[in-house]
Structure formats: structure tokens, C-alpha cells
Amino acid sequence: MIAITVENLVKKFGQTSALSGLNFRVEPGELFFLLGPSGCGKTTLLRSIAGFCIPDSGRILFGEDEVTRQPPHLRNTGMMFQSYALWPHMTVGQNVAFGLEERRVPPAEARARVQEALDSVQMGGLAERRITELSGGQQQRVALARALVVRPRCLLLDEPLSNLDAKLRLEMRAEIRRVCKEFGLTAIYVTHDQKEALSISDRMAVLENGRIAQIGTPEEVFRRPRSRVVAGFIGETNFLPGRIQSASGGRAVVETTSGIFEGVVGDPNWVPRTGEETTLSIRPECWVLCETREPSNCASGRIGAAVYLGEVAQYHFDAGGNLLKISELNPRPSARPEDREFFATAQPEDVVVLRR
């Protein structure tokens, strides 16, 4: 297992800055995710770590070895791509063995390593199959085996599950995490899928315009976003504009047009000032609908559109001109009439106070 360290990494394409002085460290054996909207720099960053893109300045280290300008084939990384990049005219075994042939591994050792890699992804009996005879999920397992067979120092994954259907994505999420932990691999994984990142990552970095907006565990990033960009990108949320009434000890009381709310300051480096404009982030599942008004952290309103989805109901709730999304778990069908007033409450721990 190795650590991967990125120091002051800068990459420009013409006048556009794809990476603007990035600094972070991926710990040995960690499954680390890169997320962000299209054009934020995550693929450029992964390609720089792989060696396919040379940064303008900064350093990339694998353990104690600097690899910033080292060619890809000398970095000994395993890669999985969105397109699988498998050769249809070769068998499963031949595809997996390709990297070993390039490294001139003796045939007997290569056969043993190919079998070991296929066994590790539950494809041990399919070495003679053609790629065209496999399902999408099986092809992705072959791509994973090919990445593992070279015994890489780290594993780099670029949207590897985006071509699979929902059921296969769930299956392969768990499989990738199992293999990474079983082999003790340090892995960096690029995705647009927030659920994917939340479900299997150890830590994640959310990128914005070539910079890191926030790094943390899935729970930290989801429950304590530090900016509107992070709060809006990771899951659904409601934004309520307001003004600081008071603040101390990492908490703040905020006046909004829907009521007075106490919440937790999202960015620990920000000290809110009385009278400063701010924004509250409250996720739909954090609201509780009731029939009585609470003294604080409570908004009154009426239910508009309602969608019943079995395990959850989704409501549009008009609260003083602010249209809120509210999710109710295990709802009773038609239990929330649209022609009467309700009250929506949220605990202070579920209200995040953000810079405007």
C-alpha cells in the first residue's frame, strides 16, 4: 500500500485553468473519490496522476517517489475506464494477460496470475470466453481483473460503472470496494454519481472550477457541507436565504421569511457576523411535518404537489413564499391533505448555515 500526495498541482489549457494549485493526500489503502460537476477538473486530475497529462507545475508522489513527469507505463498503476477498453477479438484470459505480456512476465507465471485475478472477481471459469459473449457486468469484472493482474501500486477508476444499469451498478460498487480492501489497494475513483461515492468511499473530494471545495468522509461532506456548491451537489437540499441574528460556538440563529432557525455553521473557518446575509441548507429528509407550531426551527405552510413512492412521499411545501422539498419516510397514502395548514420542523443539527 502506498500514499498518493498531490502538491500545488496546476494545469492550464490555453487561458483556462483546469487545476488551480491542488493539495491533498490519499492515505495508503484508502478508497478516495473525486466528484464535481462537468468541467471541474476531476478527469484532468486523474489523468495527471496516471501520467497521461503532464501538469504545468506542482508534484505528484507515490509514496516517497515523485512521478510527476514519469511516463504512464513506469508508474505501475491499474486503470478502469468508462468504456471498459477490452479487445473483442481476444478471449477473457487474453485480455487480462495483455499487461503481463507488455511487462514480459514468463508465461507460466502469467497464467497463474491471470487465473488468480479472474478468481478474485468471480470470473475464474470464463477465461476462454469471448468478450462479445459477456454481459456488461461481466465485462466490467474483466476490466477490473486486467487492472489487478499487474499488481499495481494504486488503482485509478474513471466513471467505471456509468454504462451499467442500476442493478449492476449496485452489485459492482460492492465488488470494487471488496476487491480494493482485499488487495490493500490505494484507489482514486472519479464519478458523477453521489450515491456511488457516499456508499463506498472512505473519503471524497468535491471539486469546483479546478479547486477543492471540500474533502471529508461521506458523512462529513453530506451532513456538514462548507459551501452552497457542495450542499447542492451532494444530494438534494433546500436553500433558505436569511440574516444572522446571533452567532457563537459554531452555531448561529438566522431570521428567514419562513421563520427563525438555529443551525450549525458549515465552514469552520467562517465566523458569521450579526446582520450578515446567509443561506440555510436543510435536506428534504430532515423536515418533520406536524400539526402544531414549535417555538423555533419551524415553518408554517401548505402542501402543494405530493408524490407517493411507497417507502417515501415527496411534498412541495409552500412556506411563506419559500417552496420547500420535504421527504417523509413510511408515509400513509393521502394522509396529508392539501387544503390545510401544516408545520415543518427541523432539528438544529440538521440545519447548516452557509455563506451567502
Distances (CA, A) of 192 to 38, 153, 207, 285: 8, 25, 11, 22
DSSP code string of 209-231: TTEEEEEE-HHHHHHS-SSHHHH
Span of 91-100, 206-215, 264-273, 347-356 with lowest mean pLDDT: 91-100
CATH class belonging to 236-355: mainly beta
> Can you say how many angstroms the Cα of residue 9 is from the centroid of all Cα atoms in its chain?
21
**pLDDT tens digit sequence for 276-305:** 999 999 999 999 998 899 888 999 999 988
Predicted pLDDT of residue 337: 66
Residue 335 has pLDDT above 70, yes or no: no
**pLDDT tens digit sequence for 110-151:** 999 999 999 988 888 899 999 999 988 888 889 889 988 988
Residues 6+ apart with CB under 8 A from 332: none
Q: What phi, psi does 283 have (nearest 5°)? A: -75, 150
Overall average pLDDT of the 69-81 stretch: 89
**pLDDT tens digit sequence for 204-261:** 999 999 999 999 999 999 999 999 999 999 989 999 999 999 999 999 999 999 999 9
CATH class belonging to 4-223: alpha beta
Predicted pLDDT of residue 319: 92
Cα–Cα dist 269/149, whole Å: 44
What pTM did the predictor assign? 0.88
**Residues 179, 22 contacting (CB under 8 angstroms):** no
Nine-digit cell string for 321: 413564499
Distance spanning both ends of the chain, measured CA to CA:
42
Measured CA angle at 106 (ends 100, 109), to 5 deg:
80
CATH 3.40.50.300 domain span(s) along the chain: 4-223
CATH 2.40.50.100 domain span(s) along the chain: 236-355
The mean pLDDT of the chain is: 91
